[in-house]
Amino acid sequence: MYSFIKEHKQLYPIEKMCKVMGVSSRSYYTWQVRSKQTKSNKISILENKIQAVYFDKKQRYGSPRITAELLDLGIKVSRITVAKYMKNMGLRSKIGKKFKVTTDSKHSHKIMDNVLERNFRPSEPSKVWVSDITYIHTKEGFLYLTTVLDLYDRKCIGWSVSDGMKTEETSLAAWKMALKNRKLSADLLFHTDRGVQYACEKFSNTLDSYKVITRSMSRKGNCWDNAVAESFFKTLKSEQIYGNKLVSKDQMRAELFENMVASR
């Protein structure tokens, strides 16, 4: 009865239809309010279900996969509806992006041989450290993240977040932190790409001064020679950074700090 009135309210006055059907207009409006509340509750419940799946899957699922998860749970909903609600809530799947190359290998500094030869499984800590640099988007421009990983346990033992690409604020800063966090062995192999931050005299002289470090560099244009460092950046960006709205440099520094500490 009330549904009929609602469907025809554009054709006839509500009060007149209520009188013909023998109901009060007040009871109709009460029903209308309750209907809106019921619909609102259903929407809220569905939004909570969508959020639960989204965050349970580490923000990696888009509307098709979330819809499939909900259907498996017995919740009947269309992909279009899920996509609509996700858009309203600002939820989107995190998609890994191809990263801009930060390696400047066009320089006159000495290039080292690839001593590592993709042997990514050392038997002891502090036998092989690898380092790399990547860039991070923020609302205020780029930040540059430099890391040093110990291949034995894949822990990030040193890092630096900088506004520029100078050796002092990238490779050297990360190296100094690594020394504070892990003891240097007598036969450490330190592997990097051919970037100027690793090949320049300031950095190479620092490592050579220890007399116990063998330096190694990837072959030209071959990112697989430093695959562990590349993989570390890919995971960090796809799971922790991309998919979120751009933030300020200070906010990004704080987020990176939390992630770096957690990865040690």
Say which CATH number the domain at 137 has: 3.30.420.10
Residue 36 shares a structural domain with residue 156: no
Cα–chain center distance at 217: 28
Average pLDDT over residues 66-83: 89
pTM of the model: 0.60
pLDDT in tens, 143-179: 999 999 999 999 999 999 999 999 999 999 999 999 9
Question: Are 146 and 27 members of one domain?
Answer: no
In tens, the pLDDT along 172-231 reads 999 999 999 999 998 999 999 999 999 999 999 999 999 999 999 999 878 788 999 988
Residue identified by tokens 């990004």 is: 252
Residue 15, domain member (yes or no): yes
Q: Which residues of 89-103 are buried (b: 16+ CB within 10 A; e: fewer)?
A: eebbbbeeeeeeebb
- Tell whether the model's pLDDT for residue 99 goes beyond 50: no
Pairing of strands 128-138, 213-217: unpaired
Asked if the structure places residue 122 within a domain, the reply is no
Judged by DSSP in three states, 263 sits in helix
User: Are residue 141 and residue 85 in the same domain, yes or no?
Assistant: no
* Nearest partner of 28 among 8, 58, 54, judged by Cα: 8
Amino acid code (one letter) for 213: I
* 136 and 258, same domain (yes or no): yes
Pairing state between β 155-162 and 128-138: unpaired
End-to-end CA distance of the chain: 66
Encoded amino acid at 106, one letter: K
Banded model confidence at residue 97, pLDDT cuts 50, 70, 90: very low
Which residue range forms the structural domain that includes residue 259?
128-263
Helices (H), the chain: 2-7, 14-21, 25-56, 63-72, 79-89, 171-181, 196-199, 201-208, 227-236, 249-263
> Do 141 and 221 share a domain, yes or no?
yes
Q: What is the pLDDT of residues 221-263, one digit of tens each?
A: 787 889 999 888 887 877 666 555 568 889 889 888 888 887 7
Position 103 in a domain: no
Residue 245 near residue 230 (C-beta atoms within 8 A): no
10 and 66 in a single domain? The answer is: yes
What type of residue is 4? F
Within a domain: residue 108? no
User: How many domains is the chain built from?
Assistant: 2
Whether residue 230 lies inside any domain: the answer is yes
**97 assigned to some structural domain:** no
